[in-house]
Amino acid sequence: MKTPTRRELLKFGGCAAVGYLASDLLIGCDGSSVHTSPVTPPPPPADIPCSPGDGAQVAVAQGTNLDTMTRSALAALGGIGTVVKSGDIVFIKPNMVTLPWASASYNPFWLGECTKPNIVIAVMDECLKAGAAKVIVGDGSQMPRFDWSGATTLDGSTNLATAAAQLASKYSVPVQLACLDVDSPSWIDVPVGTSLGKVSVSSLVIDADKVISIPVLKTHKWAYLTLSLKNFIGITPLERYGWTDPQTGNTRVLLHANDPGPVTGFGRLFVDIAKAAAPDLAIIDMSIGIEGDGPSLSSGGRTADMKQRQGSWLVLASTDPVAADATAARIVKQESPYVDQTLKMAHAAGMGTICRADITLLGATLEQLEVDWAPAQVVASAASVPCHRSAQNA
């Protein structure tokens, strides 16, 4: 009798625990005032002590070459081969929230709204070197269809569509760029601890053998910060959660507006979705991001360049995404409330390590990395958000 894979267990049984505490190159897709009120954050959950056996490593790479930095961070963890095995189907989830509007006059990568393609391409290459049988890069973004060729590297020398084709040819392995709303074979319901009860996520994620989250560091008006856990809001379908709303035009409005509040509602929601996705690796883009009332310029955020604050860009990598998120929050001096409230829920659900003493940084110390990064003024929910370059899925 065949032993079920970890992904099969997640699909057919493991997801039931999510609501804790409550062939060829495939390139699809050619694409065509915020009213808020401040909210006083609820008190944090009861203290959760560091558990026996807790412990995680977070690798830090510094510099200005994101390709080299990404590979260095992975090497510090023992290489991508410690995660990706020969024959694995790998799903990579970057944050491509405003990619549909990329143009010569609007570059969401230099503006800090999207994960840099330089990092994604390096990770794709490393996965294929390790023997991956297929690599899928996917996101839900803000439109059901969008053009991956708009995801250009910072120097403009290539883009994800071109790089995917080249890598597929080089390794003779399928590389898929998926607009999840139109390219997902099916949607799988997972339970969540909010009044929604359950949320649908792409089968491309649940069916993958390994999942890698690659967010870009941004502050978030409805979630404090958007990092590797929050990144998985983008694996839900637009049309089921507000894309076709004729009155507001909002994207995924139901996910943001239900049970308003960054912890009891939206925070609880994305922690549960991330647990269903079960990421095996997190790589955080801390080069050019968003500060202030992010997660996008349209929501009131501001572009922030880590190199101007710290002297270099940063890339974090960890096989413990919760520890990676906690470290990123501490680097930008936002441990409270993000770690104290949101990540405590993830830790309590057995998703990873949050205690500072149990996280080993490889390559630098927190004291060497800390920078000032303006937090968001957290609000209860998004009452109305314009479709064009909206902040909802950022």
- Phi, psi for 283 (deg, rounded to 5): -130, 115
Residue 6 lies in a domain: no
Query: CA-based Rg of the chain, rounded to a whole angstrom?
Result: 19
The answer to which of 30-44, 54-68, 297-311 has the lowest mean pLDDT is 30-44
Tell me how many domains the chain contains. 1
**Which whole number is the average pLDDT over 56-80?**
98
**pLDDT-based confidence at residue 175 (cuts at 50, 70, 90):** very high
The answer to whether position 86 is within a domain reads yes
Residue 131 has pLDDT above 80, yes or no: yes
Q: Is residue 72 part of a domain?
A: yes
Residue 98 lies in a domain: yes
Lowest mean pLDDT segment, chosen from 16-25, 188-197, 378-387: 16-25
Range of weakest confidence among 48-52, 89-93, 296-300? 48-52
Lowest mean pLDDT among 54-58, 161-165, 179-183, 228-232: 54-58
pTM of the model: 0.86
Q: Single out the residue of 58, 80, 63 nearest to residue 71, CA to CA.
A: 80
Query: 142 falls in which pLDDT band (50, 70, 90)?
Result: confident
Predicted confidence (pLDDT) at residue 52 exceeds the cutoff of 70: no
For residues 116-129, give the mean pLDDT: 98
What's the CA gap between 277 and 270, in Å, rounded?
10
Q: Which of 124, 137, 207, 174 is closest to 23 using CA atoms?
A: 174
Lowest mean pLDDT among 140-154, 240-254, 351-365: 240-254
Decide if pLDDT at 56 tops 90: yes
Q: Within a domain: residue 73?
A: yes
Q: What is the pLDDT of residue 33?
A: 27
* Residue 118 falls inside a structural domain: yes
- Identify the pLDDT of residue 8: 56
**Quick one: average pLDDT of 11-26?**
41
Q: What is the pLDDT of residue 332?
A: 98
Q: What pLDDT score does 19 carry? A: 41
> Could you give the CA distance from residue 43 to residue 53 in angstroms, rounded to a whole number?
28
Residue 27: which residues within 8 A CB-CB, separation 6 or more? Answer: 148, 161, 164, 165, 176, 177
Query: Looking at the predicted structure, is the pLDDT value of residue 358 above 60?
Result: yes
Is the pLDDT score of 385 beyond 50? no
Q: What is the pLDDT of residue 36?
A: 32
pLDDT, tens digit (0-9, with 9 covering 90-100), for 230-268: 999 999 988 776 544 444 444 566 676 666 665 566 788
Per-residue pLDDT for 294 more than 70?
yes
Domain of 321 in residue numbering reads as 22-38+53-369
What is the spatial distance between Cα 44 and Cα 42, in angstroms, rounded to a whole number?
6
Greater pLDDT, 5 or 128: 128
pLDDT of 1 strictly over 90 = no
With respect to residue 12, please indicate whether it lies within any of the assigned structural domains. no
Classify burial at 103, counting beta carbons within 10 Å of its beta carbon; exposed 0-12, middle 13-18, buried 19 or more: exposed
Bond before 295 cis per omega within 30 degrees: yes
CB 111 within 8 Å of CB 99: no
The Cα–Cα gap between 133 and 146 comes to 25
> Within a domain: residue 44?
no
| Per-chain mean pLDDT for the chain | 84
Higher-confidence residue of 83 and 16: namely 83
User: Among residues of the chain, what percentage have pLDDT more than 70?
Assistant: 76
Residue 291 has pLDDT above 60, yes or no: yes
Q: Once rounded to an integer, what is the mean pLDDT over residues 352-379?
A: 94
Q: Does residue 123 register a pLDDT over 70?
A: yes
